Amino acid sequence: MHASGRIGEGSVTFDEFLDLHLPALGNYAGVLAGDRQAAHDVLVDALITVQLRWDRIGRMASPAGYARRVITTTFLDARRTAARRRTFSTNEPPERLHHDDGPSRVDDRDQLADMLDGLPDRQRAAVVLRFYLDLPDEEIAAALDCSKGAVRTLISRGLQQLRAVVQASGPSQPRVGRHQP
């Protein structure tokens, strides 16, 4: 059946789904991947998977939630594959790029992306799902295919690591994971 054909009573077409959710899914992939090209690759691969399974996904209560899960899984798989390639291609640790512009501070968005990039992949995904998409533990657990307790642990450890980075960079940096008055 063609992707834009009607699947069943009460369901939306894949094209209608994209019209409604593509911007938000693209933003999520961007924050998750931290890099425009990587986000594009993850999003395209995930949407291909969703489209191929649309006859089932289109009838779900939350196709957007399922699409986020596919994006998350695609991102984690891509990171694992890239890590394996680096491991096999060299014995040297990968070089990290450090941007130190002295008095001209790096944009907050760039700082956050660098900080998120330092987190392990599942912690990064959990933190992004919680603080960017404001999802509850149940939805994060579904996206990461883990328990709610594991979600809380991933977020706690991720925030702990982010706070350590902020504290090491100096007092003028924003506090991560804490509400300011």
Residue 1 shares a structural domain with residue 87: yes
Structure tokens given for 165: 């980075």
64 and 1 in a common domain = yes
In a shared domain, residues 1 and 81: yes
Is the whole model's pTM more than 0.75, yes or no?
Answer: no
Provide the residue range defining the domain that includes 40. Answer: 1-91
Same domain, 5 and 87: yes
Domain shared by 125 and 85, yes or no: no
The dihedral sign for the CA sequence 77, 82, 88, 92: negative
Claim to verify: residue 85 and residue 116 sit in the same structural domain: no
**Residue 178 placed within a domain:** no
Q: Can you give the pLDDT at residue 83? A: 59
Encode pLDDT of 33-50 as tens digits. 988 999 999 999 999 999
Name the domain count of the chain.
2
- Please give the chain's pLDDT, 181 residues, in tens: 344 443 344 578 999 999 999 999 999 999 999 889 999 999 999 999 999 999 999 999 999 999 999 999 999 988 877 655 554 444 443 343 344 444 334 456 677 777 888 899 899 999 999 988 888 999 899 889 899 999 999 999 999 988 888 888 765 545 454 443 3
Residues 22, 80 within the same domain: yes
Q: Are residues 111 and 160 in the same domain?
A: yes
Of 91, 118, 142, at which residue does a domain stop?
91
Same domain, residue pair 61 and 111: no
Q: Are 177 and 162 in contact (CB under 8 A)?
A: yes
CA-CA-CA-CA dihedral for 28, 34, 38, 44, to nearest 10: 0
Give the contacts of 171 (CB within 8 A, at least 6 positions apart): none
